[in-house]
């Protein structure tokens, strides 16, 4: 057990997962949120989010984790992370009011020896504006991935740390905590760290843009994007973990936030963000692949079609529907009958008046003219295409993420369409 | 992108169509009447928009509850020069002046895809207008004039190449091809007809316009099918309709090949159940009408 105590402020996705990871490293952890109801639920281990391994690790480390709505409890901490999720509006612009409020609430109760670390995603210049004489203040880049948050928090590939003066050593408690994760630590000035986070996401979006653009071209030329991706990943300049899967554009809110931030700064300073705006347009274009394909194959041909939609979350292993392609699709299917199922998101999240809330994947397929798989939940991969075919009234399956086996679907007599392959 | 002001279809009290005698205007009037909506179909005979007293006459005719469809224009076959541009702007000036006096419930302005740069191959409503000639500049200016009207909900429709029996412009594409084939037994292409374009049947234009009137849609919408075919393919489709051999003749290319594709996602979002007449069926329909008429 470590002698240091780590505090986390803001018990939403980022704060909660990070706190549990700290406890798992053996640190006493104080988790503060001013929301009494939320704290009461967390104390009973009732989690407001879905993340693989989070319930298990919370249970395992519960002796080291204290949930509290009393801000004074943070005064015991050596390091306090300010870590609320930063919400975004429909244009991807951050609402920083919550982090401002929490910072103002927490800062006065902490001693000058307590290190404050801003972990939430903030724009360049935010951290330095919070710096006061005599205050130990750092910014740390978070690289949370929805659905892999615990894995990312427990096994980071590196820490990027924003400092007022990068040449000075990190405060001992903070350095001790970071070193316990056994990964490289990269100190740099605040603004560099803040922009490093955005730069990482720009690289990811660039890869997504390549995947979107080239997979669409594959659909017209007879090439198969899934055959090309392994070749790219073996290229050392691209890499095995690059974001090259064909998908329905950018969703979830975090990448969109950075795109908006870069455009806003570029507008402010007169730098060129044309390529960023092109990525955004391309993302919006690909998001509507399912709608265009549905229109071409079903809506423009059939009276009163019934459409089965599997998946509402914006990606697998999360309950979040922020910018979800599925919800975006369903918005335009209001005139039609839809049958909806998601393992985590209630069907009521779908805005459709003619909606059947299905209790299982196969129930959703019952009597439908088409099946559209809009979230790549792994449990969908276990579906037997023969059973799908038996329940569907039609034969069409749209599976943009290729979660089902194309070959098995075709054997089952289904007309299978996915991204990156010519129909 | 367009927005429906009416959550459900609702018939306008009355529709006033300016340019009702034209190829598209006539088709729209026919479909409005078929819906049982009162329509006043105005041509330059009843309402000469170039005439000095037209503003007052039009204003006295219009009611604030009217929907107005503005198609009246001197088309490129009547002139592509600055004088024609200025006359067209004057026509729109009269309409705007009348609407400023009376207001209206909905203005549908018929623009053109000529507002887009010809070098842009993939068109969405987000592509900035960048007209390359006076005709395109005229339509874009008239769009801006329409939008300048206070408190008038405005819809701008930008149609692609329109085909149908009564087309009078005889522009390059299905209309000219069928006439060439009927008259000369051959279709002459520019180059080898490599350019791809989107062709829409006039009845589809009319149907979409009526649906926009019923929903009181506002914004800008490209009116295209989302399927582009080369002029050679179109010529082949036209040729197949004849019972005799039609020769398709290539000529030396005079200008570089350009393509134009429409991403009609916004149309799908606005009217997800709309069904276009596929080109082969549309051309067959027009062919039968032409043969019956001749």
Q: Are the beta carbons of A150 and A54 closer than 8 angstroms?
A: yes
User: Which architecture does CATH list for A198-286?
Assistant: Orthogonal Bundle (1.10)
In a mutational test of the B interface, the residue from A295, A296, A331, A351 whose CB has the highest number of chain B CBs within 10 Å is A295
Helix (H, G, I), strand (E, B) or coil at A186: strand
Taking CA atoms, A326 is separated from A307, A312, A316, A323, A367, in Å, by 12, 5, 12, 9, 20
**Does domain A288-417 bear CATH number 1.10.3720.10?**
no
The pLDDT score that the predictor gives to residue A20 is 97
Let me know if the fold of A5-190 is the same as that of A288-417: yes
For residues B234 and B181, what is the distance between their CA atoms, to the nearest angstrom? 12
User: What percent of chain B clears pLDDT 90, i.e. is strictly above it?
Assistant: 92
State the pLDDT confidence band at A1, using cuts at 50, 70 and 90. Answer: low
Q: Are the Cβ atoms of A332 and B268 closer than 8 angstroms?
A: yes
Residue A174, number of CB atoms within 10 A of its CB: 23
pLDDT, residue B170, reads: 85
Indicate yes or no: CB of A292 within 8 angstroms of CB of B275: no
Q: Which residues contact A269 (CB under 8 A, 6 or more apart)?
A: none
pLDDT of residue A189: 97
Mean pLDDT of A242-257: 88
When pLDDT is cut at 50, 70 and 90, the band that residue B294 belongs to is: confident
Cβ pair A336:B272 closer than 8 A: yes
pLDDT tier at A393, thresholds 50, 70, 90:
very high
Kindly report the CA angle at B57 between B55 and B61, in degrees rounded to 5?
115
Over range A304-329, report the average pLDDT: 93
Q: How far apart are the first and last CA of chain A?
A: 58
pLDDT classification of A2: cutoffs 50, 70, 90 = low
In angstroms, what separates the C-alpha of B74 from chain A's closest C-alpha? 35
- Determine the distance in angstroms separating the CA of A333 from the nearest CA of chain B, rounded to an integer: 7
The answer to whether residue A146 neighbours chain B at the CB level (below 8 Å) is no
Mean pLDDT of B83-87: 96
Q: Are B59 and B101 in contact (CB under 8 A)?
A: yes
Domain boundaries, chain A: 5-190, 198-286, 288-417
Determine the Cα angle at A158 with ends A143 and A27, to 5°.
Answer: 85
Q: Quick one: how far is CA B63 from the chain centroid?
A: 25
Q: Number of residue pairs across A and B with CB atoms under 8 Å?
A: 30
List C-alpha distances in Å: A344 to A16, A87, A238, A339, B37. 19, 21, 34, 16, 48
In chain B, which residues have their Cβ closer than 8 Å to the Cβ of A292? Answer: 226, 265, 268
Q: Is it the case that residue A254 has pLDDT exceeding 90?
A: no
- Asked if CATH classification 3.40.50.720 holds for the domain at A5-190, the reply, yes or no, is yes
Sort out which chain B residues have CB atoms less than 8 A from A288's CB and list them.
265, 268-269
pLDDT tens for A19-46 read: 999 999 999 999 999 999 999 999 999 9
What pLDDT score does A233 carry?
96
Residue length of chain A: 423
Q: Which of A22, A375, B129, A133 is nearest to A361 (CA)?
A: A375
Whether residue A278 lies within 8 A of chain B, CB to CB, comes out as no
pLDDT averaged over every residue in chain A? 94
Measure Cα distances from B245 to A101, B82, B178, B187, B291 in Å.
80, 43, 13, 11, 16
Chain B positions in Cβ-Cβ contact with residue A297 (cut-off 8 Å):
none
Q: Is A1 exposed, middle or buried (0-12, 13-18, 19+ CB in 10 A)?
A: exposed
Given a contact cutoff of 8 angstroms between Cβ atoms, the answer to whether A280 and A205 are in contact is no
Which residues are CB-neighbours of A195 under 8 A, at least 6 positions away?
A: A124
Q: Which domains does chain B have, with CATH numbers?
A: 2-162+201-223 (3.40.50.720), 164-197+227-260+278-293 (3.90.25.10)
Spacing of C-alpha B291 from chain mean position = 25
What pTM did the predictor assign?
0.85
pLDDT band for position A89 (50/70/90)? confident
């Amino acid at each position: 057990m470590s002698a240091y105590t780590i505090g986390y402020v803001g018990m939403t996705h980022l704060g909660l997962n990070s706190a549990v990871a700290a406890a798992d490293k053996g640190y006493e952890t104080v988790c503060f949120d001013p929301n009494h109801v939320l704290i009461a639920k967390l104390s009973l281990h009732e989690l407001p989010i879905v993340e693989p391994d989070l319930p298990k690790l919370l249970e395992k480390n519960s002796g080291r984790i204290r949930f509290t709505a009393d801000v004074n409890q943070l005064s015991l901490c050596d390091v306090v992370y300010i870590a609320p999720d930063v919400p975004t509006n429909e244009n991807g612009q951050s609402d920083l009011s919550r982090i401002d409020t929490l910072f103002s609430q927490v800062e006065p109760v902490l001693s000058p020896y307590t290190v404050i670390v801003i972990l939430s995603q903030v724009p360049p210049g935010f951290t330095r504006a919070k710096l006061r004489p005599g205050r130990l203040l750092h910014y740390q880049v978070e690289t949370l991935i929805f659905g892999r948050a615990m894995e990312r928090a427990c096994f980071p590939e590196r820490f990027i740390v924003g400092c007022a003066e990068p040449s000075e050593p990190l405060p001992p408690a903070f350095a001790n905590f970071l070193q316990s994760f056994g990964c490289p630590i990269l100190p740099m000035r605040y603004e560099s760290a803040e922009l490093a986070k955005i730069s990482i996401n720009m690289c990811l979006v660039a890869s997504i843009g390549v995947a979107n653009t080239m997979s669409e071209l594959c659909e017209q030329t007879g090439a198969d994007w899934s055959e090309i991706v392994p070749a790219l990943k073996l290229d050392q300049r691209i890499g095995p973990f690059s974001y090259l899967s064909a998908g329905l554009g950018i969703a979830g809110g975090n990448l969109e936030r950075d795109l908006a931030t870069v455009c806003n700064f570029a507008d402010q300073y007169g730098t060129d963000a044309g390529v960023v705006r092109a990525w955004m347009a391309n993302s919006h274009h690909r998001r509507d692949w399912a709608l265009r394909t549905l229109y071409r194959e079903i809506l423009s041909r059939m009276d009163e079609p019934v459409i089965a939609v599997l998946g509402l979350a914006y990606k697998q292993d999360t309950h979040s529907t922020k910018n979800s392609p599925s919800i975006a699709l369903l918005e335009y299917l209001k005139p039609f009958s839809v049958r909806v199922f998601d393992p985590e998101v209630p069907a009521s999240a779908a805005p459709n008046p003619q909606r059947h809330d299905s209790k299982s994947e196969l129930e959703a397929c019952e009597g439908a003219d088409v099946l559209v798989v809009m979230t790549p939940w792994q449990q969908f991969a276990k579906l037997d295409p023969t059973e799908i075919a038996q329940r569907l009234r039609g034969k069409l399956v749209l599976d943009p993420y290729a979660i089902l086996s194309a070959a098995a679907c075709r054997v089952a007599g289904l007309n299978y369409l996915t991204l990156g392959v010519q129909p | 992108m367009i927005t429906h002001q009416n959550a459900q279809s609702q018939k306008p009290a009355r529709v006033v169509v300016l340019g009702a005698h034209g190829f598209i205007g006539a088709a729209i009037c026919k479909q409005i009447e078929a819906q049982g909506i009162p329509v006043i179909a105005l041509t330059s005979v009843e309402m000469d928009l170039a005439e000095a007293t037209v503003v007052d006459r039009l204003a006295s005719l219009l009611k604030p509850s009217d929907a107005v469809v503005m198609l009246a224009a001197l088309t490129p076959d009547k002139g592509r020069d600055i004088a024609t541009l200025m006359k067209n702007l004057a026509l729109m000036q009269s309409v705007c002046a009348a609407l400023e006096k009376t207001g209206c419930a909905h203005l549908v302005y018929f623009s053109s895809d000529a507002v887009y740069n010809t070098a842009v191959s993939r068109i969405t409503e987000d592509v900035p207008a960048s007209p390359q000639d006076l005709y395109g500049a005229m339509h874009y200016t008239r769009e801006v004039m329409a939008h300048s009207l206070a408190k008038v909900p405005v819809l701008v429709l930008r149609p692609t190449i329109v085909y149908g029996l009564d087309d009078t412009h005889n522009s390059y594409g299905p209309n000219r091809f069928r006439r060439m084939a009927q008259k000369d037994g051959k279709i002459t292409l520019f180059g080898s007809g490599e350019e791809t374009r989107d062709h829409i049947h006039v009845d589809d234009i009319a149907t979409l316009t009526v649906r926009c009137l019923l929903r009181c849609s506002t914004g800008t919408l490209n009116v295209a099918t989302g399927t582009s075919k080369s002029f050679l393919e179109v010529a082949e489709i036209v040729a197949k309709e004849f019972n005799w051999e039609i020769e398709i003749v290539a000529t030396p290319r005079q200008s570089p090949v350009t393509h134009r594709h429409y991403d009609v996602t916004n149309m799908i979002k606005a009217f997800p159940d709309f069904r276009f007449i596929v080109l082969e069926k549309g051309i067959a329909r027009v062919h039968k009408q032409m043969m019956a008429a001749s």
